[in-house]
Amino acid sequence: MMQLTLEDMPDFARGAAFLGTGGGGAPHLGQIFCETAIRRHGAPQIIPLEDLDDDAAIYGIAMMGAPTVIVEKLLCGDDALLAIEKLEKHTGRKADAIMALEVGGINSSLPVAIAAMRGLPVVDADGMGRAFPEIQMTTFNVYGVPLCPYVITDEHMESTIVEARNGDSGEAIGRALAMQMGLAVMISAYPMTGRDAQRTAVGGTMSLAVEIGRAITAGRRNGDPVAALIDYLRTTTYYNQAKLLFDGKIVDLVRETTRGFAIGKCTLAALDGSDSTMEIMFQNENLVARQNGMMRAIVPDLVCIVDRETAEPITTEGLKYGLRVKVIGTSVAPSMRTPEALSVFGPKAFGVDEPFVPIEEIA
Partner 1 sequence: MRIGVDVGGTNTDAVLMDGMQVLGWAKASTTADVSSGIRAAITSVLNKSSIDTAGIRLVMIGTTHFTNAFVERKRLLPVGVIRLSLPAGRGVPPLADWPHDLRERIGGHVYELPGGYQYDGRVNAPIDEQAIAEAARAMRAGGITTVAISGVFSHVDAAQEIRAAEIVAQEIPDVSLSLSHRIGRLGLLERENAAVMNASLADLSRTVVQSFGDALDALGIAAPFFISQNDGTLMNADTVRRYPVLTFASGPTNSMRGAAYLSGLKNAIVADIGGTTTDIGMLVNGFPRESSVTVDIGGVRTNFRMPDVLSIGLGGGSIVRNDAGVSVGPDSVGYRLITDALVFGGDTLTTSDIAVAAGHAEMGDPSRVAHLPAELVERAMEAINAKVEEAADRMRTSAESLPLILVGGGAVLVSRDIAGVSRVIRPDHASVANAIGAAIAQVSGEVDRVFSYEVSGRDAAIATAKQEAVADALAAGASSDSVEIVDIEEVPLAYVPGGAVRLRVRAVGDLAVAA
Give the footprint of partner 1 on this chain (CB under 8 A): 23, 28-29, 32-33, 35-37, 64-69, 71-78, 113, 133, 155-157, 175, 178-179, 182-184, 249-251, 255-257, 259-263, 269, 273, 284, 307, 312, 316-318, 320-324
Residue with Cβ nearer partner 1 (66 or 215): 66
Secondary structure class of 81 (helix, strand, coil): helix
The nearest distance, CB 174 to partner 1, in angstroms, is 11
Phi-psi region of 260 (alpha: psi -120 to 50; beta: other; left: phi over 0): left
Residue with Cβ nearer partner 1 (30 or 194): 30
Residue with Cβ nearer partner 1 (39 or 234): 39
Burial 195-221 (b: 16+ CB within 10 A, else e): ebbbbbbbbbbbbbbbbbbbbbbebee
Cα angle at 33 between 215 and 1, to 5 degrees? 55
Residue with Cβ nearer partner 1 (33 or 150): 33
The nearest distance, CB 321 to partner 1, in angstroms, is 7
Annotate 121-169 with DSSP letters as a single string: -EESEESSSS--SSTT-SHHHHTT----SEEEE-TT--EEEE--SSHHH
The nearest distance, CB 249 to partner 1, in angstroms, is 5
> 152 forms bridges with which residues in the sheet?
160, 187
The nearest distance, CB 290 to partner 1, in angstroms, is 19
The nearest distance, CB 263 to partner 1, in angstroms, is 8
Query: Considering just the CA atoms, what is the radius of gyration of the chain in Å?
Result: 19
The nearest distance, CB 338 to partner 1, in angstroms, is 26
Residue with Cβ nearer partner 1 (273 or 339): 273
Residue with Cβ nearer partner 1 (2 or 172): 172
Residue 249 CB-density burial (10 A; 0-12 exposed, 13-18 middle, 19+ buried): middle
